[in-house]
Homo-oligomer: A and B are copies of this chain.
Amino acid sequence: MAPVPNGTVPSAPVTGRLSSVYSEVQMKRVDHALPLPSVLKHPFTLLDGPPSSAAGNPDEIAKLFPHLFGQPSVALVPSDPRVAQTHHKLKIGVVLSGGQAPGGHNVISGIFDYLQERAQGSTLYGFRGGPAGIMKCKYVELTSEYIYPYRNQGGFDMICSGRDKIETPEQFKQAEETAKKLDLDGLVVIGGDDSNTNACLLAENFRSKNLKTRVIGCPKTIDGDLKCKEVPTSFGFDTACKIYSEMIGNVMLDARSTGKYYHFVRLMGRAASHITLECALQTHPNITIIGEEVAAKKLTLKNVTDYIVDVVCKRAEISYNYGVILIPEGLIDFIPEVQHLIGELNEILAHDIVDEGGLWKKKLNDQSLKLFEFLPQAIQEQLMLERDPHGNVQVAKIETEKMLIQMVETELEKRREEGKYKGQFRGQSHFFGYEGRCGLPTNFDATYCYALGYGAGALLHSGKTGLISSVGNLCAPVEEWTVGGTALTLLMDVERRHGKFKPVIKKAMVELEGAPFKMFASLRDEWALKNCYVSPGPIQFSGPGSDATNHTLLLELESQA
């Protein structure tokens, strides 16, 4: 076992990770060579599909995107090598938008390498700090030396990200000015559903102003809720789920070894429960709550509590006074009665004085009052005290896992008094979130992102705009992956906000009729009582398991095949 000091980065960039010291694993990853799908390794051409429509309300989408609506999606296909390939130089900008997801740096590397290999003499600008960087024209020119230390690395710190949006006419104007100033041929927006909607609006705007700047989106979010038939998964989901599953697997062995704790694990992912579902498929916990199912069955908080308590009681009868329970971060958002209560609280807190005697509670309707009284005191206080700048209750700050522990405790005491429970219950709470957003990307995410970026370069080079980079056939070997671009308008529907139609890419929720949920549902009763725990262990970059994709993607692709 030789001493292993951390090494310095072989060729550190002038800015960026200058003062960084790299671990051995980071160093190894920097030099990890990425495979490309075959179609990207040889001369290719773009094949147009049929005219596209929209996910809903095509007439409204057509009005919102008069220049782009209806344009076909495209596929890259091998071309006759004797046909001359486009080699004109490009000026391209790239921006990271929203929360981190492992693999973002590789999308940028993919764009860069495309330009180096297929459009020599091109320039790649990285806008700093998200869309604000576009509006303020804050950028850095990305060179080979600059990009090198970020290859296959986690984080978004190469150019950083931000949550600003380009929405108002004034902001569109700023973006235009930047595009003109830098003489941009194209812009790649790496982001989630909102950012890709904005990318399409920007594409439409540039087109309407006759600017040459094209816009291509890339699907990013650890939450896994930006996907459709053409875009089978968003990057980062694979890595984040594997990091959380490593931790869950460890906690499971802890639970089984001590035999005295119920671990309540809240997992990131507020809008959809894909992460929780995937982690369940990877680790086989005793109980898993899926928000979409709670909403579909219109469950109350009492129902959820009772479901957990029933399993705890049954396990106690077979002497298992321990277990692991997965809860999606957004659980509360899926429970209609909680939404009602919060709505009423927001009204009351905005307009009335909250008296210590509790007279204010009379303003709650009967059902909300009953629910409020049912909540543990600490949660009541969080609801009253934790307010955002608009005075609203901050749902994201509510520690759902602690709330459930307390509610389960209370219900178990009741059952104990009724003679229906004789076990011991000790809850331990966990929240796994930030740990998963910036890990070193798995081989899958590293390769997938590189192809997404390389493909985005190809789309821009061919003059395409308003598409989202799409890499498919992901269960096959990398060589056989398909590459193309999907019309962003095809993913869109409209929502009415303040009397106006706004385009939205609908978040992909967990489908209760989808293969991943059905697989989970067919196994959960067995997992509840038997202990079928799986410990996925730490992500490996070589050897067995290192090239595995996740269960959600596999099951979805298999069911489509």
Q: How far is the CB of A277 from chain B (nearest CB, A)?
A: 16
Q: How far is the CB of A344 from chain B (nearest CB, A)?
A: 25
Partner of A26, one of B129, B447, B475, B535: B535
Contact A540 B258 (CB under 8 A): no
In this complex, the member of A25, A247, A284 whose beta carbon has the largest number of chain B beta carbons within 10 angstroms is A25
Question: Residues of B contacting A258 with CB < 8 Å?
Answer: 99-100, 156, 160-161
Question: Given A154-B253, A438-B253, do A549 and B23 touch, yes or no (CB 8 Å)?
Answer: no
Contact A251 B434 (CB under 8 A): yes
Q: Is the interface of A mostly helix, strand, loop or mixed?
A: loop
A/B interface sample: 11 pairs, CB < 8 A: A1-B476, A1-B548, A3-B549, A21-B534, A23-B249, A23-B537, A25-B537, A161-B258, A250-B437, A250-B439, A540-B542
Complex Cα distance, B166 from A183, in Å, reads 79
Contact B538 A25 (CB under 8 A): yes
A278-318 vs B, Cβ < 8 Å mask (1 yes, 0 no): 00001010000000000000000000000000000000000
Complex Cα distance, B160 from A99, in Å, reads 41
Q: Say yes or no: is A243 at the interface (Cβ < 8 Å to chain B).
A: yes
Question: Given A2-B547, A29-B537, A542-B543, do A254 and B155 touch, yes or no (CB 8 Å)?
Answer: yes
Question: Residues of B contacting A155 with CB < 8 Å?
Answer: 253-254, 256-257, 535
Question: Given A243-B250, A263-B434, A430-B434, do A475 and B25 touch, yes or no (CB 8 Å)?
Answer: no
In this complex, the member of A530, A531, A544 whose beta carbon has the largest number of chain B beta carbons within 10 angstroms is A544
A interface residues, Cβ below 8 angstroms from B: 1-4, 6, 19-29, 99-100, 129, 153-157, 160-161, 243, 246-247, 249-254, 256-259, 261, 263, 282, 284, 428, 430, 434-440, 443-444, 447, 474-478, 530-545, 547-549, 554, 558
Q: How far is the CB of A264 from chain B (nearest CB, A)?
A: 12
Question: Given A435-B247, A543-B542, do A20 and B156 touch, yes or no (CB 8 Å)?
Answer: no
Question: Given A22-B534, A435-B251, A436-B250, do A545 and B4 touch, yes or no (CB 8 Å)?
Answer: yes
Nearest 3 A-B pairs (CB), nearest first?
Answer: A155-B253, A24-B545, A25-B537
Question: Residues of B contacting A29 with CB < 8 Å?
Answer: 537
Partner of A532, one of B21, B256, B536: B21
In this complex, the member of A21, A155, A476, A541 whose beta carbon has the largest number of chain B beta carbons within 10 angstroms is A155
Contact A440 B537 (CB under 8 A): yes
Contact A535 B475 (CB under 8 A): no
Contact A6 B534 (CB under 8 A): yes
Question: Residues of B contacting A444 with CB < 8 Å?
Answer: 1
Contact B154 A1 (CB under 8 A): no
Contact B538 A540 (CB under 8 A): yes
Contact B537 A257 (CB under 8 A): no
Q: How far is the CB of A158 from chain B (nearest CB, A)?
A: 9
Contact A549 B4 (CB under 8 A): yes
Contact B534 A20 (CB under 8 A): yes
Question: Residues of B contacting A153 with CB < 8 Å?
Answer: 253, 535
Question: Residues of B contacting A156 with CB < 8 Å?
Answer: 257-258
Q: Which residue of B lies closest to A24 (CB)?
A: B545
Complex Cα distance, B254 from A155, in Å, reads 6
Complex Cα distance, B475 from A1, in Å, reads 6
Q: How far is the CB of A481 from chain B (nearest CB, A)?
A: 9
Question: Residues of B contacting A542 with CB < 8 Å?
Answer: 540, 542-543
In this complex, the member of A437, A444, A447 whose beta carbon has the largest number of chain B beta carbons within 10 angstroms is A437
Apart from A26-B536, A155-B254, A157-B256, 7 more pairs, CB < 8 Å: A1-B548, A19-B531, A19-B532, A23-B545, A250-B438, A251-B434, A540-B541
Complex Cα distance, B440 from A438, in Å, reads 22
Complex Cα distance, B253 from A23, in Å, reads 13
Question: Residues of B contacting A549 with CB < 8 Å?
Answer: 1, 3-4
Q: Which residue of B lies closest to A6 (CB)?
A: B534
Complex Cα distance, B534 from A27, in Å, reads 11
Partner of A535, one of B154, B434, B534, B554: B154
Q: How far is the CB of A285 from chain B (nearest CB, A)?
A: 13
Question: Residues of B contacting A437 with CB < 8 Å?
Answer: 250, 254
Question: Given A29-B537, A430-B434, A542-B543, do A477 and B1 touch, yes or no (CB 8 Å)?
Answer: yes
In this complex, the member of A436, A443, A474, A548 whose beta carbon has the largest number of chain B beta carbons within 10 angstroms is A548
Question: Residues of B contacting A250 with CB < 8 Å?
Answer: 154, 243, 434-439
Partner of A259, one of B160, B443, B535: B160
Complex Cα distance, B540 from A542, in Å, reads 9
In this complex, the member of A19, A252, A254, A531 whose beta carbon has the largest number of chain B beta carbons within 10 angstroms is A254
Q: Which residue of B lies closest to A155 (CB)?
A: B253
Contact B284 A254 (CB under 8 A): no
Contact A540 B474 (CB under 8 A): no
Question: Residues of B contacting A540 with CB < 8 Å?
Answer: 25, 538, 540-542
Q: Which residue of B lies closest to A256 (CB)?
A: B157
In this complex, the member of A27, A253, A545 whose beta carbon has the largest number of chain B beta carbons within 10 angstroms is A253
Contact B538 A1 (CB under 8 A): no
Question: Residues of B contacting A263 with CB < 8 Å?
Answer: 434
Complex Cα distance, B477 from A476, in Å, reads 42
Question: Residues of B contacting A447 with CB < 8 Å?
Answer: 1
Contact A438 B25 (CB under 8 A): no
Question: Given A3-B475, A547-B2, A549-B1, do A23 and B254 touch, yes or no (CB 8 Å)?
Answer: no
